[in-house]
Structure formats: structure tokens, C-alpha cells
Amino acid sequence: LADAASRAAGILGVRAQNRDIVIEVAGKRGEAVATAEFRRVLQILINLIGNAIAYSPVGSTVRITAGPAGEGRVGVTVADEGPGVTPDQAERIFDKFERLGRDSDGGKDKGSGLGLFISRRLAEAMDGSLTVESATGGGALFRLELPAQYPPRLPQP
């Protein structure tokens, strides 16, 4: 998962730089190996990180952490410094076409409101989960959890 997170962060690096946002990725390659389709995990992470960049204030940091997530699970979290999510928003955020007030942004964001809906469905199709909560100190914290690969496959030199 750390490799997928690093690749997603690299893909979105220019978008983050344009808003003076730093993307930090923590996690060792091979430490959190999931039984999942790499392309689908990458798609989910690109969506989560892209949303974090869009909702974060200029000059903030998006933190991505990959690692073990409990018995037989591995996970990756994406935390931003944006406005966070209320309990009501957390229930609706994965609904189809939900944009959480983005319709009032003057059309600046062209998102369809399908990204998180699709991301959650992809996670569930891989026997995983995608959740959100308000992060301690502000911002949103998205958590993708997937089945761990056992025994873990060690990275090749």
C-alpha cells in the first residue's frame, strides 16, 4: 500500500504544488501488502488524495500513512487539514452525486460527486472498506482497509 500511496502522491504532486500543499507519505514498502488489485487501489488513493488537496487550505499538509490495520487487515489513511466532516456528512459523503456543498462554489470544482461513491464500491469489491471521520485537530481522515496478504511478499531488490 505504501507503493500505491507514493505513486498516487506523485501523480497529484503538481496539483498539490499549485496550492502550496505538501503531501507526506509514511509507510515502508512491503510492510502493508494487500490482497487487492493494484490499479484499483491506486484509483481509490488518487481520488482520496485529490479530494484532500481540493478541500485543504493553501499551504497545508496532506498526510498519507500505510501500515497494518488489525487482524488480517492492512490499511492506508489520508488525512487533510480542511474543514472536516460532520456526522451527517460522514453518512452522506459516499452517496452517489454527493458534493457536500460544492454546488455553491461558483462552478470552480467540476467534480461529479461520483468519486467517493465509486471508491467505496471498489474497496468493497476487494473485500475492503472505506470510511471517513473528522480528524483530531480538524480536517478529514479517510481510511481504506483491505485484506492483508499472508505470508507477506517481500519486495524484490
DSSP string, 40-69: HHHHHHHHHHHHHHHHSPTT-EEEEEEEE-
Domains located in the chain, CATH noted: 2-147 (3.30.565.10)
Summarised one tens digit per residue, pLDDT across range 28-72 is: 877 888 999 999 999 999 999 999 999 999 999 999 999 999 889
Q: How many CB atoms lie within 10 A of CB 18?
A: 10
119 Cβ neighbours under 8 A, 6+ residues apart: 43, 44, 47, 48, 94, 130
Name the pLDDT band for 105 (thresholds 50, 70, 90).
Answer: very low
**pTM value?**
0.87
